[in-house]
Amino acid sequence: MISILDLRARIGAGSLTPRGAIDLCREAIAARDPAIGAFVALDPDPAIPDEGPLAGIAVGLKDIIDTAGLPTQMGSAIYEGWRPRADAAVASRLKALGAVTLAKTTTTAFASLDPTETRNPHDPGHTPGGSSAGSAAAVGGGMLPLAFGTQTGGSVIRPASFCGCAAIKPSFRLIPTVGVKTYSWALDTVGLFAAGVGDLAYALAAVTGREGIETEAASAPRIALVRQDFAQAPEPAAEAALLRAAEAAGRAGARLVDIALPPELASAWARHPEIQDFEARQALGWEFTEHGEALPPRIREHLEAGGRITAADYDDARRHAHRARRVLKALFEEVDVLLTYSAPGPAPATLASTGDARFNRLWTLMGVPCVNVPVPGEGLPVGVQVVGRFGGDGRTLAVAKLIEDALRR
Amino acid sequence: MISILDLRARIGAGSLTPRGAIDLCREAIAARDPAIGAFVALDPDPAIPDEGPLAGIAVGLKDIIDTAGLPTQMGSAIYEGWRPRADAAVASRLKALGAVTLAKTTTTAFASLDPTETRNPHDPGHTPGGSSAGSAAAVGGGMLPLAFGTQTGGSVIRPASFCGCAAIKPSFRLIPTVGVKTYSWALDTVGLFAAGVGDLAYALAAVTGREGIETEAASAPRIALVRQDFAQAPEPAAEAALLRAAEAAGRAGARLVDIALPPELASAWARHPEIQDFEARQALGWEFTEHGEALPPRIREHLEAGGRITAADYDDARRHAHRARRVLKALFEEVDVLLTYSAPGPAPATLASTGDARFNRLWTLMGVPCVNVPVPGEGLPVGVQVVGRFGGDGRTLAVAKLIEDALRR
């Protein structure tokens, strides 16, 4: 993979120019993407700033993120050739930091569950996950140092785990969703993919203007091992990765406790789909009503289901989520982070499914930061998920870094 | 003014067709709009459904609300001639209910403070208010039975007060902002303008699919008179309107108490501009960076100010807002609604300002429903503001209706 921190160090030392760094990515894309299919559009002649904390960093943006200079097609024929007027807030911010928004990456239609044709960079017969398929595959496949996706259920952490790269779904609205196609306004969260946790921290600090994010250090963090029993058991590979990560954290000085989540969290987890689908049916009202025949089957099913959810059920689901957030906040008085599965196992051996978000959706609903840390091992990548308190993105990244470092030793 | 309930009754009785109802509006627009200037686009040949709870209702949409069939120009040359691909969620919903999205209404640039050329329908030398200038003027000027605007500070309740129509800024996100240009994602709220409170309730119930909204009845409501001392005194006309509304409510059986708001609410009020401007600078990053010279002076000032607000100050402002919401929630254990000023006085005698949102912005930040009830009297219109608890839109409308009825007696 291509590391942001490595590129920036070489640029700082004068051994690489920003243009050279962008060219590295272009060459990697030309060599590898024909077998992966992570991109829907590349800027043939982008402006390449010489200055800025992200100068020389080529970025991929999931194709539901508006760009004025490149098409934004939502993974759907309904938006074929569509050119928004403005850049999304995050795209504009990236340019202001010196980054090059080089590419649009594949997305399932409207960031739902119908697979793209993108292949897992580690094995072309396996899914890269979704919905941020192209962003995860671009970074995991060593073609870009930074890519952005969105998560409504598990669309950042799951594909990162499948593709073997680091990723963060930050606290809710830490990065604005302005100019990002909405699926569920209570859930949609913009997230980052990068080679390692240090790269994520550097980029997130720059994008949010929050310098503290990258400097917080984790010393003897308190980590709760969480298995999310309400979401069924994972595959052995995911359990093994969790144990390996826990052991590594322990060796690095972390204090580990095993906890069962309070029942309010299981209740909230169960209600996530109602909030998601009720909102999606409204958010995509025009697409459903005027172009329903052009929608692929899974998203159409979800939108039809959304139309059957009553406002009363939706309100009740939101009350459950609200209660769970309070309970979770209290839990973070006792521990710094939770450590849990990023996905049920490695990427499934199919291109007909993007995998299962059941270990992700509670945390999206809670709005808390989640980091995927790849766990080195045999076979296809498997990651673990570090979950922190709302607004504690820096602390969460610091503990994730401690685990990443310990796993690499 | 044209009443939704009246049109619907006539259509139900067979004395008016939906097409006839739309034609009434077209004729009123042709006759009155040349002196008012409430519209930026009219659909010359819209589909006119025969069925649906809003069949025969011509609707105006503030020109920051996306429409696939009409231009959406944000009150700015930057978006001249711009045609979005999709309808905003609320526009799509309105069509599904049988309404005709006949017109786009004037907005200040990106719903900020630089005035439009729209005139107050009651006196062309006075502002109609802003930023939802055209929507308020269209309804207050008797040209449309229903129009939609947005409020980030006081952009629904204030122009409704100035233009003499009823309006509701519902609970935060009761109506999705999907497809509505963002200024501040924590504050932007879609609201409705109509001839009377009953019309608002009918339309809001239909748009949200929440039938309870229109049937809740207010009996002997507990009303707290609130003067928002932290926001400076209003003009005598606003104070007189408040007293008249309070007296009318008392005659109708309401129990009135005078209260001073707890200090947490004053603190939150003071921090509203930081949240608004910090977010606006990001939300409009592309416009500010790429087209700054095309922005009018007031919004440019706000965006420049937004760039100077630190993330730490923004976070602190949000914590103040969070505390204030808790305090306000407790206050609603004691009373059903608050009754306060909608604006500092009648519409100022100028087209160079849209007036002052100081009596509105706290309630936008709290996310609670607010209804403007016009208070009949001499001179230019003045309204009062009925504020309810979060999610209590039906109860708030019911008390507003009780006050409206009592004032008309």
Query: What is the predicted pLDDT for the residue at A219?
Result: 83
Q: Which residues contact A304 (CB under 8 A, 6 or more apart)?
A: none
CA A210 to chain B, closest CA, distance in angstroms equals: 7
Min Cα–Cα distance to chain B from A63, Å: 15
- For A323, residues 6+ apart whose C-beta sits below 8 A from its C-beta are A264, A267, A268
Q: How far is A286 from chain B (nearest CA, A)?
A: 5
pLDDT tops 80 at residue A214: no
The answer, yes or no, to whether residue B373 has pLDDT greater than 80, is yes
Residue A216 pLDDT > 70? no
Task: Name the residue with tokens 């700033």.
Answer: A49
Instruction: Look at B289 and A92 and tell me if their CB atoms are within 8 Å.
Output: yes
Reported as a single tens digit per residue, the pLDDT across A232-245 is 999 999 999 999 99
Whole-number pLDDT of residue A305? 96
Are the Cβ atoms of B87 and A286 closer than 8 angstroms? yes
Q: Residue A341 forms beta bridges with which residues? A: A384
- pLDDT, residue B242, reads 98
Cβ contacts of A87 on chain B, cutoff 8 Å: 285-286, 290
Taking the Cβ of residue B93 and every Cβ of chain A, the question of whether any pair is shorter than 8 Å is answered with yes
Would you call A82 an interface residue with chain B, using a CB distance cutoff of 8 Å?
A: yes
Phi first, then psi, for residue B22 (nearest 5°) are -65, -40
The string of pLDDT tens digits covering residues B153-182 is 999 999 999 999 999 999 999 999 999 999
Per-residue pLDDT reduced to its tens digit, A21-36? 999 999 999 999 999 9
The answer, yes or no, to whether residue B232 has pLDDT greater than 80, is yes
Is residue B151 classed as helix, strand or coil in its secondary structure?
A: strand
Binary contact (A286, B185; C-beta < 8 A) = no
Min distance B88 CA to chain A CA atoms (Å): 7
Share of chain B above pLDDT 70, in %: 99
* pLDDT class of B401 with cuts at 50, 70, 90: very high
Spell out which residues of chain A touch residue B173, defining contact as CB-CB under 8 Å.
185-186
Distance from CA of A344 to the nearest CA of B (A): 32
Residue B370 clears pLDDT 80, i.e. is over it:
yes
| Residue pLDDT, tens place only, B266-286 | 999 999 999 999 999 999 999
pLDDT score recorded for residue A253: 96
Mean pLDDT computed over every residue of chain A: 97
Give whole-number Cα distances, B260 to B224, B245, B263, B339, B340, in Å: 9, 18, 9, 12, 11
**Least Cα separation, residue A378 to chain B (angstroms):** 42
Q: Which residues of B touch A83 (CB under 8 A)?
A: none
Interface A-B: count of C-beta contacts within 8 A: 86
Closest alpha carbon within chain A to B287: A86
| pLDDT given for residue A251 in this prediction | 96
Residue in A93, A282, A289 closest to B285 by CB: A93
Per-residue pLDDT, averaged over A332-336, amounts to: 96
Task: Summarize the confidence of residues A321-344 as an average pLDDT.
Answer: 97
Output the pLDDT for position B55: 98
Is-cis flag, bond preceding A131, omega within 30? yes
ipTM of this predicted complex?
0.97
Mean predicted confidence (pLDDT) in B191-196: 98
So what CATH class is B4-215? alpha beta
- Which pLDDT value is given to residue B400? 97
Residue A42 has pLDDT above 70, yes or no: yes
- In chain A, the percentage of residues whose pLDDT exceeds 70 is 99
CA–CA gap between residue B270 and residue B302 (Å, rounded): 16
B-chain CB neighbours of A95 within 8 Å are 289
Residue B215 pLDDT > 70: no
How far, in Å, CA of A138 to CA of A26, rounded? 11
User: pLDDT at position B219, please?
Assistant: 83
Find the residue in A nearest to B205 (Cα).
Answer: A311
Chain B interface disruption, residue of A188, A286, A289, most B CBs within 10 A: A286
Taking contacts as CB-CB distances below 8 angstroms, the residues of chain A near B184 are none
Chain B's closest residue to A96, CA to CA, is B289
pLDDT of residue A212: 78
Statement: residue B384 has pLDDT above 70: yes
Asked if the Cβ–Cβ distance from A178 to B186 is below 8 Å, we say no
Question: For position B218, what pLDDT does the model report?
Answer: 72
Q: Tell me what pLDDT residue B158 has.
A: 98
Predicted pLDDT of residue B212: 78
Check CB contact of B391 with chain A, cutoff 8 Å: yes
Q: How far is A35 from chain B (nearest CA, A)?
A: 32
pLDDT at A407: 97
Phi and psi at B169, nearest 5°, equal -100, 105
β-pairing, B255-258 vs A100-105, is unpaired
Q: pLDDT tens, B40-77?
A: 999 999 999 999 999 999 999 999 999 999 999 999 99
Domain ranges of chain B: 4-215
* Residue B177 at interface with chain A, using a CB cutoff of 8 Å: yes
pLDDT at A101 over 90: yes
Mean pLDDT score, A137-165 = 98
Percentage of residues of chain B with pLDDT beyond 90: 97
B218 against A187, higher pLDDT: A187
What is the token pair recorded at B319?
A: 């914590």
Task: Supply the pLDDT for residue B213.
Answer: 84
Q: What is the mean pLDDT of residues A79-108?
A: 98
Tokens of A29: 């894309």
